[in-house]
């Protein structure tokens, strides 16, 4: 594997995608900590270590910052009827749940995506020496 391509894809595409997926694994791991979360967190940590060890991929680390955005967007979707008590009824059952406001989850997801883009820009176009 050379520094510009890995399995047919340019490193400039593959690097941010892998770091983003790593961050998504960490984000969903935290969101699902009481069920499958520990496994997802373990995958995320192993992925970060492996990506961080490769000089070709290391420069794309800011994409991991935006990785938790899909988990936060999913939490916003699950709480779309909130805030407050939301009741549902079918022909055979009924129930009520307490939902949070979806806006903080969605706002944080957007903030993380913008932060990852800005951080990647700053890393790629940082101070030039020489």
Contact 124, 59 (CB under 8 A): yes
**Residue 2: pLDDT band with limits 50, 70, 90:** very low
In a domain, 38, yes or no: yes
How many domains does the chain divide into? 1
Centre a 10 Å sphere on the Cβ of residue 126 and count the other Cβ atoms it contains.
8
In a domain, 61, yes or no: yes
Domain of residue 71, residue span: 5-124
In a domain, 130, yes or no: no
Q: Are strands 9-10 and 5-6 parallel, antiparallel or unpaired?
A: antiparallel
In a domain, 90, yes or no: yes
In a domain, 103, yes or no: yes
In a domain, 129, yes or no: no
Residues 11-62: tens digit of each pLDDT: 888 999 999 999 999 999 999 999 999 999 999 999 999 999 998 898 999 9
């Amino acid at each position: 594997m050379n520094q510009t391509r890995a399995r047919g894809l340019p490193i400039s595409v593959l690097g941010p995608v892998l770091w983003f997926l790593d961050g998504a694994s960490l984000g969903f791991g935290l969101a699902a900590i009481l069920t499958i979360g520990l496994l997802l967190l373990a995958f995320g940590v192993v992925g970060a270590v492996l990506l961080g060890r490769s000089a070709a991929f290391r420069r794309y680390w800011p994409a991991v910052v935006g990785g938790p955005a899909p988990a936060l967007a999913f939490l916003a979707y699950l709480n779309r009827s909130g805030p407050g008590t939301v009741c549902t009824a079918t022909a055979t059952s009924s129930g009520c749940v307490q939902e949070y406001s979806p806006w903080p989850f969605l706002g944080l997801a957007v903030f993380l995506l913008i932060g990852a883009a800005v951080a990647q820009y700053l890393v790629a176009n940082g101070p030039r020496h020489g």
